[in-house]
Copies of this chain bind each other. A is one copy, B any other.
Amino acid sequence: MSIQYKQLYLHQRPIGNTTDDDVRMRTVNVDELADGQLLIKNDYFSLDPAIRGWMSAEPNYMPPIGLGEVVRSSTVGTVVESKHSDFAVGDQVYGLNGWEEYSLSDGYFLTKVPADNKFPLHYYLSIFGAVGLTAYFGITDSAELKAGDTLLMSAAAGAVGSLGGQLAKNMGCRVVGLAGTDEKCQWLKDELGFDGVINYKTESGNLEAAIRAECPDGVDVFFDNVGGETLDAALLNLRDNARIVFCGSISSYNASEPVPGPYNYWQILAKNAVVKGFLVSAYFDRFESGAAALAELLVDEKIDFKYQIVEGFDNTLSAFHKLFDGSNTGKLMLKV
């Protein structure tokens, strides 16, 4: 065998948005596998805000991507060569690989798509992957929600937010979502059944009052994917004993200056509230049951799931930018 393929690697650490100078392309050859290795032809890349965090120099629950290393990303693909006893040619597999047409793997943290899978392959990067499991465990466990609670969701039209909001609706909660366009807000309300929606762009500068209008009795749980102004406004609307599930902070991932924490941090004390850092990896031993629960909800049509697939390896970086300019809805992936 001899396979030549393209990789996108980190050339320098981005300042602000990731540019073509930061992430460059190269072509590599694989001539032979070592014992215990396998070669995966990647079908889809997962494009996630977290990847931007890994491009920075600071360790960030995972080590930074090294300069010269392939950009880290979840992928799903098909085994095309194997010298690994657990994986055979033709197996479909998903795991943490990178932005490259093929991935060499030693099987570490690689999972097989079940042989009887009836769902599209890319579901293993989305609803059965980190995004779906984040929404699932964030809402059904970390948030400590009970029926009748008011949930405020930021980035509600995003992959985690839209799923999480529906899961909370299924639990009997009142769900209010923040999104950045009227179209997204309309979708949340009309298609997903959100009880209230706020366009955080048109309401910028007035978010505290806008949240109060939609959550007149206050917020029991704020599911925070965004940070920044939204978090500060949410903090001023907490009920006593509120929970903040701190799942992400997309407003600051491209920041080139240190970003202060919320100005209203004091409200955490004043409201006897709790901020819970959320890493889906903490639920690793429950991933299988979480994915099974989500599959059942999908089959029963109790959750609707939106995704966007951009085609073409060469479009990876431009597709990645959609995460930060508000132009995508639902889970973003790239079809290689």
Contacts and interface: CB of A to CB of B under 8 A. Distances in A.
A29 B246 CA distance: 54
Contact of A261 (B265, B272, B277): B265
Task: Pick from A227, A262, A263, A275 the residue with the most CB of B within 10 Å.
Answer: A275
Contacts of A25: none
A310 interface: no
Task: Pick from A227, A249, A261, A274 the residue with the most CB of B within 10 Å.
Answer: A261
Contacts of A268: 246, 275, 277
12 contacts: A61-B269, A227-B265, A247-B269, A248-B269, A260-B260, A261-B265, A268-B277, A269-B277, A271-B277, A272-B277, A274-B274, A274-B277
Task: Pick from A248, A272, A276, A277 the residue with the most CB of B within 10 Å.
Answer: A277
Contacts of A252: 266
Contact of A277 (B249, B262, B270, B282): B270
Top 3 nearest A-B pairs by Cβ distance?
A: A261-B261, A260-B260, A261-B265
Task: Pick from A60, A262, A274 the residue with the most CB of B within 10 Å.
Answer: A274
Contacts of A317: none
B266 A249 contact: yes
A258 B248 contact: no
A279 interface: yes
A274 B272 contact: no
A259 interface: yes
Contact of A262 (B60, B265, B271, B279): B265
A278 interface: yes
A273 interface: yes
A227 B252 CA distance: 22
Contacts of A270: 59-61, 277, 279
A263 B266 contact: no
A144 B273 CA distance: 16
A251 to B, nearest CB: 12
Nearest to A278: B269
Contacts of A264: 261
A233 to B, nearest CB: 14
Given A258-B263, A259-B263, A275-B275, 11 more contacts: A227-B265, A246-B268, A247-B269, A248-B269, A249-B266, A260-B261, A262-B265, A270-B279, A271-B277, A272-B277, A274-B275
A276 B277 contact: no
Contacts of A259: 263
A36 to B, nearest CB: 29
A290 B274 CA distance: 23
Contacts of A227: 265
